Amino acid sequence: MDTHELRIRDPWEDLKRYTDARIALGRCGVSLPTRHHLDFQLAHARARDAVHHRLDSDEVQQAFEALGMNVVRLHSAAESRTVYLQRPDLGRRLRTEDSEALFAMVDALDPPPAEGYRFDLALVVADGLCAQAVQASAVPLVNELLPKVNQAGWRLAPTVLVEQGRVAIGDEIGSILGAEVVTVLIGERPGLSSPDSLGIYLTYAPRPGLTDERRNCISNVRQAGLLPELAAEKLFYLVSQARRRRLSGVELKDDLPQVQENPALPG
C-alpha cells in the first residue's frame, strides 16, 4: 500500500501555502506523519545551532567600513557563550575595560553642545541569540538607512559592534556616547521556521536601567519576512518621530501604512 494512503489529510491543508507555520500536517493513526516529525527535529536542531553560531565580527566590521562608517568593537560582561546563555544580566552591560575604553574614546571627541546631545543617532549591532541574522541582514539594512540619515542631516555616532550582547546593552552605550536615540540591531531568538530573524530596538534618551516599555521593536527582518529596505523605512520613521516627540516605547506608535513584509511571498 502507498504510504501516502495511510495519512489522514487535514481539512486546512490548502492554507499551508500562506505560512511557514506547522499547520495541517495530517496524521497517521494518532501520530504525526514520519516526514513531518523528522522535519520538526531538523528545524529544532537548526534553531539550536543558530544560538551557538559565532558572529564573524571581522567580516561585519569590514562591510560597515566599506559603507564609510567608523566601527568600534566592544564586548559585554559575558565572557563566553555559555555564560551569556546562563547569565542574561551580564549580556546587558559592557565589561569594565570596554566601558572605560568607550568613555576614553568619547572624551577625545568634540564636547557636546551646551544643551542637547552629542549625536542624534547611535547604531549598536549585537550578535544576540542569532548571529546568522546579523551576518545576513544588518549591513543591508544599514545600507538602506544611511541615505535617509544623511539626507536628514543627522549626526551619526560611531557604529558599535558588540559580542555577546543583549538589547539593554544599547542603553549603556547610547548613554556614554551621548546619543539622543540608540538603535540596537540584534539577532532574535531562533524560531522553528525562522532561524535567521533580525530584531531592531530603539530607545529615546538611553540610560542604564530602562525597561522594555521604553523601547520600540521592529522584528522578523529577513528575506522571508520584513525586507531590509522596508525595515529601514520603518526605522527611520520611528526615529524621526521619537526625536520630534522626545519619547519612545509604548507611547510611540508606528503609524506608517501597513505593507506586506516581502511582496514576493504569497499572501
In this predicted structure, the answer to whether residue 107 has a pLDDT above a threshold of 80 is: yes
The helix (run of H) or strand (run of E) holding residue 33 is: none
Strand ranges, E, within 105-174: 119-126, 159-163
Give me the pLDDT at residue 227, please: 95
The count of other CB atoms within 10 Å of the CB of residue 81 is 16
φ, ψ of residue 128 in degrees (nearest 5): 60, -145
Return the closest-CA partner of residue 91 out of 59, 128, 56, 121.
128
pTM: 0.86
Give me the pLDDT at residue 63, please: 97
State the chain's mean pLDDT as an integer: 90
Q: How far apart are CA 226 and CA 155, in angstroms?
A: 27
β-pairing, 159-163 vs 119-126, is parallel
State the cell numbers at 199: 530584531
In this predicted structure, the answer to whether residue 4 has a pLDDT above a threshold of 80 is: no
Give me the pLDDT at residue 264, please: 55
Q: How far apart are CA 234 and CA 145, in angstroms?
A: 10
Strand ranges, E, within the chain: 71-75, 119-126, 159-163, 179-187, 198-204, 215-221
Please, is 30 exposed, middle or buried when counting C-beta atoms within 10 Å of its C-beta (0-12, 13-18, 19+)?
exposed
Residues with Cβ within 8 Å of 94's Cβ and at least 6 positions away in sequence, in order, are: 74, 75, 76, 77, 102, 162, 169, 172, 173
Domain locations in the chain as residue ranges: 51-245
In this predicted structure, the answer to whether residue 184 has a pLDDT above a threshold of 70 is: yes
Q: How many residues does the chain have?
A: 267
Q: What is the arithmetic mean of pLDDT over 125-129?
A: 96
The CATH number of 51-245, from 3.90.800.10, 3.30.1360.120, 1.10.620.20, 3.40.50.11240, is 3.40.50.11240
